[in-house]
Structure 1
Amino acid sequence: MFTRKKSLLFLILSGVLAMIATVLFFTNHPAEEGEVDAAVQPYYLNSYEDSRAAFRSLAMHWKSEGAVVESFRVPSAVDDDLTIDTLYIPPKGRPEKLVIIASGTHGIEAFTGSAVQRYFLERILPDLDRTNLGVLAVHAVNPYGFRYERRVSEHNVDLNRNWDVEPSLFQATNEGYEIVNEMLNPKGKVDLGSMDNRFFAVRSIMQIVQHGMPALRQAILQGQYAHPQGLYFGGRTFEPQKALLEPLFKKTAASYSHVLLIDLHTGFGERGRLHLFPNAIRDPAVRARLEAVFAGYQIDYGDTEDFYTTTGDFSEYMGKLLDDKIYLPMVFEYGTMDSQTTSGSIRSLHNMIVENQGFWHGYESDDDEAEAKRRFREHYNPTSHIWRTKVIHDSDALLRRSIANFLSLKD
């Protein structure tokens, strides 16, 4: 009798939650409120080519101060003009503190990352004390994803699941992923009007009730190395970026005692909020330094059930690479979809599933393709002038304050 009552309760609860999720899934969000600063909108450009040209032009202005400008061509079977562009600006005096600011690890996210980088180089860096401060800007870590508006590389690799100093990374297993593999990676052409897509929220909420949100979030987002056409595939070997950039990181950081990494991302979290994610830092000394540098701002360490950890993470790799330095990693994540909520996380996941399915299997109609790609672009590159204004304004305040704090660190 207890088992039957429990099963009935489960069905009732699942049904109620499924109905709520479906309503939320198809409910339009209220109009955004906030200011629009017309002066910052030109930093957001419409293509990889335009963003790269603007970065290169800005980089050349720094050459008069001894800056080093480099371009690394990423090998490709489909495009011979994919480059990662870098700018190293040395300190005016003795090197002590190095800031590395990177964009486009997830390609399409570089529309915002590039805007923030160029704003920083043009409007913030000239005001900072550069006596002992060096800056390395790495533009478009994933140029393929930037140009073709995907998060992943040409090989469907999520670059933020592909970094490590040892290839044993690719032996990592994610048993939880197998539970949701079928839902995450459907076969066949995308039909947004299909029952599977119309009732995606229902299917998702059933999974949440059965397995729990924290376990599902970890299983989906951790990274997986078994399904090359699947979401969050970390690869079977290192992508070319590692061999191209690793010597640069080592050479540039060699003469510095402290390194602050700022890795720019969009997508996860509360819309319009700049989240700080250092990816589960457990060392109390590193945490203390991060708290000092980002004093006054909330840092989400990813060690509660509301967050997740990843394998092959770029910021963690950099810590291993620069293990003789005082190293402080921080991901700047500009939220777009309110994915801290259940409905937002379901919407976000659906956008990713449909985009990946369409890439591999095509679309039932031109309308399906146009709508799926529109949703994906808005997910990672919002066109809202209010959102874009807030990103730049919040970045300005945080970068000025945190770098000044970084320069003041004594240990």
Structure 2
Amino acid sequence: MSEINKYFTSSYEESRTIFRKHLTTIQEKWPEATLSTKSIGEEADNTIDIIFSEARTSNEQVVFMTSGEHGIEGYAGGSVIHLFVEEYIDKIDPETTGICIVHALNPWGMRHYRRVTENNVDLNRNYIYNSSAVPEDINENYAKESDLFLPNGKLKDINKEKTHLFAQLGKGIADEGYQGIKKAKGMGQFEFERGVYYGGKAEEESALYLKELQRKLLSLFDRVIHMDWHTALGPTNEVTAVISEHDPREEEEIKADYQMNNIQKFSPKKVKGDSTNHFFKLKNEEYPDTHLFSALFEFGTFGTGKRAELRELTTIVLENQLYWEGAEKEKDRQWVLEEFQNMFYPEETDWRESVLKEARLAIDNVLTKEGILH
């Protein structure tokens, strides 16, 4: 329990305060390390915080960790970065390795326990390399089932709402097939501003900032090793690495390389605006000689399979409806908020202990394979 109390926080401000204190620890190895903050959005005091240093002698490689791309998921991400600073930086050679750690890419979402930005944008659908190449109506599956994904009035009775939504989902699965629903969810959409999985009509401040940071690291270092921390996807209490098909290795090869059981590869054709796809595209187009490892690391909550996916989608849709339309009953509002937290930041001791255990596994295996740890 002491580890949980040490690493896991309950507010954006608390997590950010702890992150900023990491600078002193990091400066013991990288004396030139700096803390920079970037104000994001209209609400006061929402910032992206970055601790960065080049290598002391030669920029052979850099460890790059990001958190909070999906706001509420930043709590677990901040915990993992705290763990990394305490347990791993003494194993890294600062003479040849730089460091770049990022707290709360989506600070508004983290502060308000939402997944999206204040503009309702799913930030990980907002990194478009060539925005003119993505038509607004690209997600045909989503458009066909838009009544499923859009808010449709105030929540009146949560049990009836869930029953109705499951019936709609069942109809959608019957009409489009299970894969059709999955494609609609995974692709992201750029038409419906109040809908779930909205990628936005313009680049978010956070996305522009991360894209600039990606470019900076690719230009400065020969090798960039990027671990982006997320929650929800994959088997419960396990970590899953989600890797772009820009990585030429097959899933089984990646499993063997990093000694990880759960690997998912995804196609840029099926997921638009993803940050790792943008990272690889930028590297391939402008920095072809730079080595890049970039992956999302997800700590699973609801589990896998159709039942888990229906629960996940129901939760996302109901939370979005609650945000836009509200609820008539306080108990219904609380149920939706609690279920949303259960999906992205559960309070259960077992889950939080598994985050620390699985994070150690991922960090050990990835950074050892990539030649970072000594």
TM-score, normalised via structure 2 length: 0.91
Return the match for 2:153 from 166, 188, 193. 188
Q: Is the 8 A contact 1:289 1:328 kept in 2?
A: no
Distance 2:263 2:14 in 1: 33
User: In 1, distance between residues paired with 2:83 and 2:306?
Assistant: 34
Give the residue type in structure 2 aligned to 1:243: L
- 1:342-353 aligned at under 5 Å gives the runs 342-353=306-317
Residue 388 (structure 1) aligns with: 352
- State percent identity of aligned pairs: 26
Change in Cα spacing, 1:39 to 1:74, as seen in structure 2 (3 Å) is same
Query: Cα distance 1:259–1:291, how it changes in 2: closer, same or farther (>3 A)?
Result: farther
1:119-153 per-residue CA deviation (whole Å, 9 max, x = no partner) reads 11122222234442222111100000000111100
Please give the secondary structure, in 2, of the residue aligned with 1:322: helix
What secondary structure is seen at the aligned counterpart in 1 of 2:158?
Answer: coil
Deviations 1:137-190 (A, max 9, x none): 111000000001111001000000000232225525111101221012131101
8 Å contact kept, 2:233–2:298: yes
Shift of 1:206: 3.0
Q: Answer yes or no: is 1:310 the counterpart of 2:266.
A: no
User: Number of residue pairs matched?
Assistant: 366
What displacement does 1:263 show? 1.1
Rounded Cα–Cα distance in structure 2 between residues aligned with 1:359 and 1:148: 11
Runs of 5+ in structure 1 lacking a partner? Answer: 1-36
Structure 2 unpaired stretches of 5+: none
Q: Is the 8 A contact 2:8 2:79 kept in 1?
A: yes
- Residue by residue over 1:284-332, the C-alpha shift from the partner in whole angstroms, topping out at 9 and shown as x without a partner, is 5x989956752454421136xxx99310001111122333122122110
Aligned to 2:105: 141
Task: Indicate which of 313, 316, 336 corresponds to 2:301.
Answer: 336
- Aligned counterparts of 1:189 and 1:93: Cα–Cα separation in 2: 59
CA distance in 2, matches of 1:383, 1:262: 24
Does the CA contact (< 8 Å) of 1:218 and 1:308 recur in 2?
no
User: For residue 246 of structure 2, what is the aligned residue in structure 1?
Assistant: 281
* Residue identity matched to 1:231: V
In the alignment, what sits opposite 2:361? 397
Which of 196, 203, 208 is matched with 2:168 structurally?
203
* Secondary structure at the counterpart of residue 141 of structure 1: coil
The residue number in structure 1 matching 2:197 is: 232
Q: Which residue of 2 aligns with 1:118?
A: 82
Q: 1:322 to 1:282 in 2, by over 3 A?
A: closer
Aligned-pair CA distance for 1:53:
0.5
Instruction: Give the Cα–Cα distance (whole angstroms) in 2 for the partners of residues 111 and 255 of structure 1.
Output: 29
The answer to whether the aligner puts 1:70 opposite 2:27 as a matched pair is no
Aligned match for 2:227, one of 245, 262, 269: 262
Cα pair distance change 1:188/1:287, threshold 3 Å:
closer
Tell me how far apart the structure 1 counterparts of residues 252 and 162 of structure 2 sit (CA, whole Å): 45
Give the C-alpha shift of residue 264 in structure 1: 0.8
**Counterpart of 1:223?**
188
Q: Distance in 1 between matches of 2:75 and 2:88?
A: 19
Task: List per-residue Cα deviations over 1:232-280 (Å, max 9, x = no partner).
Answer: 0000010011333433333344231111221111012211110111133
Question: Normalization by structure 1: what TM-score?
Answer: 0.83
Q: d(CA) in 1 for partners of 2:23 and 2:233?
A: 30
Name the CA distance, whole Å, in 2 between partners of 1:131 and 1:209: 58
Is 1:358 aligned with 2:322? yes
- Deviations 1:211-234 (CA, angstroms, capped at 9, x unpaired): 221221011221000000000000
**Contact 1:124/1:396 (<8 A) preserved:** no
State the SS of the aligned residue for 1:204: helix
1:388–1:373 Cα change, 3 Å: same
Rg: which structure is higher?
1
Secondary structure of 1:150's aligned partner: coil
Q: Tell me how far apart the structure 1 counterparts of residues 181 and 103 of structure 2 sit (CA, whole Å).
A: 33
Post-superposition CA distance 1:96-122 (Å, at most 9, x none):
122211001100100101111111112
Matched with 1:214 is 179
1:318-359 per-position Cα deviation (integer Å, ceiling 9, x unaligned): 122333122122110111011x21111111111111110011
Equivalent residues in 2 for 1:82-121 (5 A)? 82-121=46-85
Aligned residue number for residue 140 of structure 2:
175
Write the letter of the residue equivalent to 1:238. E
Give CA deviations for 1:10-45 in whole Å, capped at 9, x if unaligned: xxxxxxxxxxxxxxxxxxxxxxxxxxx532442100
2:337 is the alignment partner of 1:376:
no
* Partner SS for 2:58: coil
- 1:186-209 CA distance string (max 9 Å, x none): 311013435342243333223223
- Of 86-95 and 313-322, deviating more is 86-95
